[in-house]
Structure 1
Amino acid sequence: MIQNLHINLYAQRKAAGRTCFRQPFLFIACIFFCFICITLFSCRTTDVNKPCIPVPDSALFPYDAAKIEWQPVSAGMDVFVHKDRKNSIMYEIVRIDLANPALSVFSMKSKPEWQKSTTVKAFAKRTNADVAINTSPFYIKNYILPWSKGRPCGLVVSCGEVLVPPDERYCAIAFYKEECGFSAQIYDSQAEVLLEERIPFEAAGGFWTIFRDGNIRQFNNIKDVRSAAATADDGRTLYLFAGTNLTYGECAVIFQKLGADTAMEFDGGSSTQLVINGKNTIRQSVQRSVCAVIGFSIKKSAE
């Protein structure tokens, strides 16, 4: 097809001007895009400098723990939701009866090397987990991409096999098979887990223990999205937690009032994902892929 090639000099200069303008504009746009990606997608834990306005203990957990109206998730699993617009906090707590003989506990098959990461929601769908939560912090190969490969920082044990070695700086939660169901124990250092006489069936790392034997441990008062776990009843009851705009200390107060024995923090910030029956409890602008997840399911009886 023949095209009209009669373009006047003015039009040529105008087109050239647009081209010259586009090049720096595109460069600036790319820089701005990278900045936004880093801001939104970076894995944040305790390094967010948000103004910390303390929330009264009475507002963090304004309930009688014995009278909480838990909502069923599955047999031996239930959930409680707290929303406080005045203090801009929200959290969900899942309670799991570890003594349930129909309970299954399973982890993502992590490796001590760069690997493909996944969202907790995708893990839950693939494994048919009733409940799943992100656990260990991890290194990220490319901070710009939320689906970048990652490498776990800390202990992962799956089906009795140590997949990722412990990092003694951080805490861990271990699940042991019992005659009926499981028991759980939280360790201040991951190195302690492998010193026990028996290897746990499943274990996952986190950051630090925030509450033990009635004592709340002290940390910097930094607000962020939080992912945590706690044990009660000599390790036969497990609490999984995800909440927004909370400090470590505030999470500890919630667990203390709930009646937990020991509590710990998992990786938080944009990594926080607690999935219940296929739905994320915390709505964030992006679902970061993570390298360590633990899931729980109840074997359904045949009908």
Structure 2
Amino acid sequence: MIRKYLPAIAAFLLLVFTSCVSRPQFSVEDEALLYPVSSYVPDSFEWQEVCPGISRFDYKNSGFPIIYHVVKIDLTLAGLSLSCFPDKGGAQPFIFRGLKTKNFAKKYDCTVAVNLSPFAGKNGAWDLAAKLGTSRQIVGVHVADGLLLSAPVERYAGIYFKSEVDDVGQNYWLASIEKNQSEKAASESDYAFGGFYVVLENGEVIDSFRRNHDTRTGFGISDAGKTLYIMVAEGENTLKSEGLSYPQCAAIFKALGCTDALEMDGGGSSELCINGKSILSYKNLRTQANSLGFSVKTPGDLN
């Protein structure tokens, strides 16, 4: 009888213990000595096309060890659409049943899908019940197709997407990053999502953060907001990949050509899916609070 429940028990223990892993903190000098930039920033980025306008880069260095993934999206791509979960809700604070990013990706037929914001449980706390349960409150701004579902939190950063029209009448997306979430930016955006902190600002790495290595999800922008980079660094299985610090993430975003970048919810919440499948080397067990997806319609679909 017990054997029947062994998979569920194993999943529970894995979630609990990977959520409570002690992460060593490094000084600036020690991180530079133990993890030189060359150990996590390659000389060049070799992109693999996912579809026209979207490509991916996967990095692995088993010597340190580190694994991370980057997706590059041309936001001016014809037929590119955005979707998110949740996309409807009620009064603040909006409490809802979360949805795993991989399930969101399949449900919304996303070419690319990624987790987003930090969150709390039904009682407003980040505790074991929040980690293991599915009741969610988003911490920070969440705007879905112009609808505000979660209010801005000023101390945290946010990423904003707005639909624009070019000189020939073609629609495209423009992304921007704000160091402090605001009601004004949220009201002017079609989509907006809160994260934690800006790590790259005007091309300069912000190096004042603690240097603890963990699983990370982050966004970077270049080309005045017309190109988006999504990066997820693995860190739940530390034997394969220890994760990255915020300044290390910033250094990668800078090497990619980004002007600005921010970190979203990381740790056990990090997830990245391409064509409906997770590309991480381990199974993510957590139910995410919110997710963002990008889909590309072919010329035939646009007719």
Q: Rate the CA distance shift 1:187–1:219 in 2: closer, same or farther, 3 A.
A: same
How far, CA to CA, are the matches of 1:95 and 1:206 in structure 2? 19
> Which residue in 2 is equivalent to 1:187?
178
> Which residue in 2 is equivalent to 1:28?
none
Q: Which digits, 9 at most, give the CA deviation of each residue in 1:13-71, with x for residues without a partner?
A: xxxxxxxxxxxxxxxxxxx99994663474x8xx953354621112211223xxx3211
How far, CA to CA, are the matches of 2:17 and 2:186 in structure 1? 43
- 2:95 is paired with a residue whose SS is coil
Larger Rg: 1
Equivalent pair of 2:201/2:260 in contact (CA under 8 Å): yes
* Aligned residue identity for 2:60: K
> Which residue in 2 is equivalent to 1:74?
51
How far, CA to CA, are the matches of 1:168 and 1:48 in structure 2? 29
How far, CA to CA, are the matches of 1:266 and 1:259 in structure 2? 19
| Runs of 5+ consecutive residues of structure 1 not aligned to the other structure | 1-31
Question: Residue 213 in 1 paired to residue 187 in 2?
Answer: no
- 1:228 is paired with a residue whose SS is strand
Report the Cα offset of residue 211 of structure 1. 0.5
> Which residue in 2 is equivalent to 1:297?
295
| Runs of 5+ consecutive residues of structure 2 not aligned to the other structure | 1-8, 166-170, 235-242
* Aligned residue identity for 1:270: G
Equivalent pair of 1:155/1:205 in contact (CA under 8 Å): yes
How far, CA to CA, are the matches of 2:10 and 2:66 in structure 1? 30
Q: Which digits, 9 at most, give the CA deviation of each residue in 1:110-169, with x for residues without a partner?
A: 653321111100000000010011111000247256342111001000111111111111
> Which residue in 2 is equivalent to 1:103?
80
Report the Cα offset of residue 105 of structure 1. 1.0
Report the Cα offset of residue 204 of structure 1. 0.7
> Which residue in 2 is equivalent to 1:157?
143
How far, CA to CA, are the matches of 1:51 and 1:176 in structure 2? 38
Equivalent pair of 1:146/1:287 in contact (CA under 8 Å): no
> Which residue in 1 is equivalent to 2:237?
none
Report the Cα offset of residue 284 of structure 1. 3.4
Question: Residue 166 in 1 paired to residue 164 in 2?
Answer: no
* Aligned residue identity for 1:275: C
- 2:106 is paired with a residue whose SS is helix
Report the Cα offset of residue 196 of structure 1. 4.4
Which 10-residue stretch deviates more, 262-271 or 241-250?
241-250
- TM-score, normalised to structure 1's length? 0.80
- 2:268 is paired with a residue whose SS is helix
* Aligned residue identity for 2:215: V
* Aligned residue identity for 2:175: A
Report the Cα offset of residue 73 of structure 1. 1.1
Q: Rate the CA distance shift 1:214–1:288 in 2: closer, same or farther, 3 A.
A: same
- 2:300 is paired with a residue whose SS is coil
Equivalent pair of 1:38/1:143 in contact (CA under 8 Å): no
Q: Which digits, 9 at most, give the CA deviation of each residue in 1:72-122, with x for residues without a partner?
A: 112210000110000110111000000112100121126533211111000
> Which residue in 2 is equivalent to 1:242?
232
> Which residue in 2 is equivalent to 1:94?
71
How far, CA to CA, are the matches of 2:11 and 2:55 in structure 1? 41
- TM-score, normalised to structure 2's length? 0.80
Equivalent pair of 1:174/1:200 in contact (CA under 8 Å): yes
How far, CA to CA, are the matches of 1:41 and 1:149 in structure 2? 20
